[in-house]
Amino acid sequence: MKRIFACMFLAFSNIYSQSLTLEDAIDYALKHNQQIKQYEAKLSQKEFQNLEALGNFLPQINLNASYTHLNDPIGIDLDPIRQAMIQLQSKNQVELANIYNLLQGNPQLTNEQRNLLFNQYSSQLNSLIPPFTKELKKQDYKTATLVGIQPIFTGGKLLAAKRFSILDEKAAEVQLKQIQDEVTKEVIKKYLTVALMNDVIKIRSDVVESVKKHRDRADKMLKQGLISNHNLLRAEVALADAEKNLFEDKNKLELAYLALKNEMGMDLNESILIEDSLIFHDFTDSLEFLSELAKIDNTILQLIELKKQQAKQKFNVERSSFLPTLAAFGKYELYPEYLSALEPRWAVGLSLNINLFNGFRDYAKLQTVDYLIEEVNALQKNVENKISLLINKNFKDVNNSKEKYFRNKINVALANENLRLNEKRFETGLGTSLEVVDANLAYEKALLDSESYLYEYYSNLTELYSAAGKPQNVILILKDKEN
């Protein structure tokens, strides 16, 4: 009954487990891996920063509004000038009246007459001449002014800043691809680990079944008196060791599943099922092709090239400090009724600025960027050499693993034949249980070595294509059904 329930549980587990291929695992990881989401958000930031750099070419328009209360209205009082004018004009009128009186043959005006006429003329002029006072600004007033500034020439600074932002966005795209390639590589390797453990468990299970059959035959032969008890005990020990190895590898398989789900960004409690096995598929790309591919698609080289171009744009920005800047400006007042007589409602103009001397700081910044470009050039050549060396190393590692896999096939065939012969010898009474067990272990080791070399081959192949910037090419090799 326990076996029946165990089989039923296993069947239901397989039904509700999500069957997963390598392509499915990579697609899921590219959508749910948290590190990829982080760099996707970073790319979105750079896109808006690029848009921000575009805004530097457009006019800047601001609306400035305020409400002000003064302790007193602002005005101008020219009453002293008015009084001086009235007195001067009154005196002139008195003198004209005196001259007119003399021309009529009358005597000269007395002082009393002069004072009387002066007061009359002063009173008349005071009523005729308006007061010389003007309120320039009310005690309570509000303003609303539109101010616009349009840069015309900045020495190439704005253009260099825009190009720098474009390169910064491209660098974020390359960084995202770099993380995607890294996640793809890790998913492939962890998927291969699961496939390896599946194959190892199959081998271990076959060995357990083989040792069980041997133990059963030994038990029958012992009952028939054909072998000693020692042979049966040796078979029992071998079976216990085989079952222990199988149990340990099943635990390793569970850990491999957890590592794969973690890399994919999947809930660790979610159930998935991988049924793929490691099967050898050859690759045809040459070392020269992969080296050239790395020069184009390796993300590290792409990032260094973008950083070099950004350094050149930074050089253009620093060089613009030696050139003049020209900008147009304009303003328009929305509340003209609150303006004073001295303030215009609108104004437009040009502004020119050039730095004549600032202690050689601009020159020092320019030289700093110049040496930065030299540093990036040296870094680029150094990284190119190291990546070329890495491509060569990985290429040789792949071929070494491939060679070990094919040479081990002879060991597998020999171990299989040795196991068959020792089982026949044991059944005829010419061999011992120890020889059968050792033959089983040798055959198991040969099969496990093949799986290990095959996993090593694909792992090195993944590293090789990752260094070339194309880890996804490994998927095409794994799907090659013709091999």
Q: Which pLDDT tens digit goes with each residue over 169-181?
A: 999 999 999 999 9
Please indicate, yes or no, if residue 250 is contained in any of the structural domains: yes
Looking at the structure, do residues 50 and 193 belong to the same domain, yes or no? yes
Please indicate, yes or no, if residue 305 is contained in any of the structural domains: yes
Q: Which domain holds residue 399?
A: 16-59+155-323+356-478
Q: Most distant CA pair in the chain: distance in Å?
A: 184
Provide the number of structural domains found in the chain.
2
Angstrom distance (rounded) from CA 227 to CA 165: 84
Please indicate, yes or no, if residue 377 is contained in any of the structural domains: yes
Torsion of CA 275, 409, 445, 20, to 10 degrees: -10
Torsion of CA 404, 408, 410, 414, to 10 degrees: 160
Angstrom distance (rounded) from CA 185 to CA 463: 8
| Amino acid symbol at 177 | K
Neighbouring C-alpha atoms within 13 Å toward the C-beta of 358: 9
Angstrom distance (rounded) from CA 238 to CA 178: 49
Looking at the structure, do residues 104 and 249 belong to the same domain, yes or no? no
Torsion of CA 222, 225, 227, 230, to 10 degrees: 60
CA 303 to chain CA centroid, Å, is 12
Angstrom distance (rounded) from CA 391 to CA 298: 11
Looking at the structure, do residues 283 and 402 belong to the same domain, yes or no? yes
| Amino acid symbol at 364 | A
| Amino acid symbol at 153 | F
CA 258 to chain CA centroid, Å, is 27
Please indicate, yes or no, if residue 402 is contained in any of the structural domains: yes
Beta-carbon contacts of 362 under 8 Å, excluding residues fewer than 6 positions away, are 318, 321, 322, 355
Please indicate, yes or no, if residue 435 is contained in any of the structural domains: yes
Looking at the structure, do residues 54 and 177 belong to the same domain, yes or no? yes
Q: What is the pLDDT of residue 17?
A: 56
Helix 157-223 to helix 433-467 angle, to the nearest 10 degrees? 170
Q: What is the pLDDT of residue 6?
A: 42
Looking at the structure, do residues 117 and 197 belong to the same domain, yes or no? no
Q: What is the pLDDT of residue 483?
A: 38
Looking at the structure, do residues 55 and 84 belong to the same domain, yes or no? no
Please indicate, yes or no, if residue 22 is contained in any of the structural domains: yes
Q: What is the pLDDT of residue 13?
A: 42
Q: Which two tokens stand for residue 437?
A: 């067990």
Torsion of CA 89, 92, 97, 103, to 10 degrees: -150
Looking at the structure, do residues 205 and 292 belong to the same domain, yes or no? yes
Q: Which two tokens stand for residue 289?
A: 């092709």
Angstrom distance (rounded) from CA 465 to CA 454: 17
Please indicate, yes or no, if residue 87 is contained in any of the structural domains: yes
Please say which residue of 96, 131, 166 terminates a domain.
Answer: 131
Q: pTM (2 decimals)? A: 0.78
Looking at the structure, do residues 109 and 171 belong to the same domain, yes or no? no
Please indicate, yes or no, if residue 3 is contained in any of the structural domains: no
Q: What is the pLDDT of residue 356?
A: 86
Q: What is the pLDDT of residue 276?
A: 86
- What pairing do the DSSP bridges indicate for beta strands 140-153 and 325-333? antiparallel
Q: What is the pLDDT of residues 219-270, one digit of tens each?
A: 887 777 776 788 778 888 888 998 999 999 999 999 999 999 999 999 999 9
CATH of the domain at 419: 1.20.1600.10
Q: Which helix (H) or strand (E) holds 226?
A: none
- Helix, strand, or coil here: 86? helix
Looking at the structure, do residues 319 and 435 belong to the same domain, yes or no? yes
Spans in the chain with pLDDT lower than 70: 1-18, 227, 480-483
Whole-angstrom CA distances from 216 to 61, 210, 221, 229, 452 are 94, 10, 9, 13, 31
Looking at the structure, do residues 53 and 84 belong to the same domain, yes or no? no
Beta-carbon contacts of 385 under 8 Å, excluding residues fewer than 6 positions away, are none
Whole-angstrom CA distances from 255 to 36, 195, 241 are 23, 13, 21
Residue 141 φ then ψ, to 5°: -150, 160
Q: What is the pLDDT of residue 227?
A: 67
Looking at the structure, do residues 397 and 437 belong to the same domain, yes or no? yes
Looking at the structure, do residues 319 and 405 belong to the same domain, yes or no? yes
